Amino acid sequence: MPLELPIRIGPAYDDALCARERIKPFVKRTPVMTSESLNRIARAELFFKCENLQKVGAFKFRGACNATFALSDDEAKRGVATHSSGNHAAALALAAKLRGISATIVMPKNSSTVKIEAVKSYGGDIVFCEPTLQAREETLNAIVKRTGATFIPPYNHCLVIAGQATATLELLEDAPELDCVVVPIGGGGLISGAAIATAGKSPSTKVIGAEPKNADDAYRSFKSGKLVPQTAPDTIADGLRTSLGNITFSIIRRYVADIFTAKEETIVQAMKLVWERMKLVIEPSAAVPLAVVLERNAAFAGKRVGVILSGGNVDLSKRFW
């Protein structure tokens, strides 16, 4: 049973509603899609929120956009900055471009060419560093100190979480009376947003976390009640290799009903099913919720299940099957 925290930590439902109004002119309202074929396989009614069709190809644009447009004019004129080798990098670059301000992105020098080109295409200024967390943080800190830019983290940030919540608000509007919403967990920004949106709009709907078995720090943290850092994750779902933050963990402990894990082969199977049966390109991280539904089918059979497809940025040079 979720733990009740004595004080508010992180954003609330009202913050999600404010975020929706703030970012409405800029984000896509992505479709909710269904598949009779996948319903038969899962023995459940599945409603897929297609954030793979969002700008920059991932839900990350929502949070980056909310945090960027919430800045005062004085803060904004000094620009924004972050360190990221993933979808947040492109998301922040585009959000800054739309606001008409600069974005400096610290990226490891071994980042994929696809991600580097995406950031460049949205006008982000890239500063490369060694591929270690220490190097990323030190490089970013030097930039912030020199320029006065505002650091926008990828997930452990109230405005970012509130922005991510808007995806689930839309899902609950388009597919009401869901029994549960299944959400992938990396750093926890998306599921934290889903949790506050669901608690405010549809409190009878359970929020279930989905995580690779080979990168199960959120599962272990949830079960132990203590924040367990990620160590040596080895999963195809590269977007879910990040550890939880203190804000996201607090929200998860309070509002999330449970966290399930999925094996690597099931993640690949789920990704292939969505590609084949729905003709949708999703990345491995986005396949983890469906993988959980398939592996833990007894928990979902006969229910109305929302599934967040978190992104569709795939390196097509890789072979997945």
For residue 2, pLDDT beyond 50: no
Amino acid at 82: T
* CATH fold for the domain made of 61-151: Rossmann fold (3.40.50)
Identical fold between 13-58+157-309 and 61-151:
yes
- Other beta carbons within 10 Å of 220: 16
**Nearby residues of 241 by Cβ (< 8 Å), 6 or more positions away:** 186, 215, 230, 233, 235
Choice between 214 and 113, residue whose per-residue pLDDT is larger: 214
- Cα 88 to Cα 82: distance, rounded to the nearest angstrom: 9
Handedness of CA 13, 16, 18, 24 (dihedral sign): negative
Beta pairing partners, 45: 304
Beta pairing partners, 47: 306
- Sheet order of strands, 32-33 included: 32-33, 45-50, 304-309, 180-184, 206-212, 258-262
The pLDDT-based confidence of 311 (bands split at 50, 70, 90) is: very high
For the chain, domain boundaries: 13-58+157-309, 61-151
Rounded alpha-carbon distances, angstroms, from residue 13 to 110, 183, 189, 194, 201: 39, 18, 14, 10, 8
Amino acid at 153: P
What's residue 3's pLDDT?
A: 37
**pLDDT, average across residues 288-294:** 98
Region for residue 33 given its phi and psi (left: phi exceeds 0; alpha: psi -120 to 50; beta: otherwise) = beta
Both tokens of 303, joined, read 């229910």
- Cα 77 to Cα 283: distance, rounded to the nearest angstrom: 35
The pLDDT-based confidence of 9 (bands split at 50, 70, 90) is: low
> Tokens 């009614």 map to which residue?
45
What's residue 1's pLDDT?
A: 36
**pLDDT, average across residues 277-294:** 97
- Cα 185 to Cα 215: distance, rounded to the nearest angstrom: 10
For residue 197, pLDDT beyond 70: yes
What's residue 230's pLDDT?
A: 83
Structural domain 13-58+157-309, CATH architecture: 3-Layer(aba) Sandwich (3.40)
In percent, the amount of the chain with pLDDT more than 90 equals 85
Q: What digits encode the pLDDT tens for the residues 101-152?
A: 999 999 988 887 888 999 999 999 999 999 887 898 999 999 999 999 999 9
Q: What pTM did the predictor assign? A: 0.93
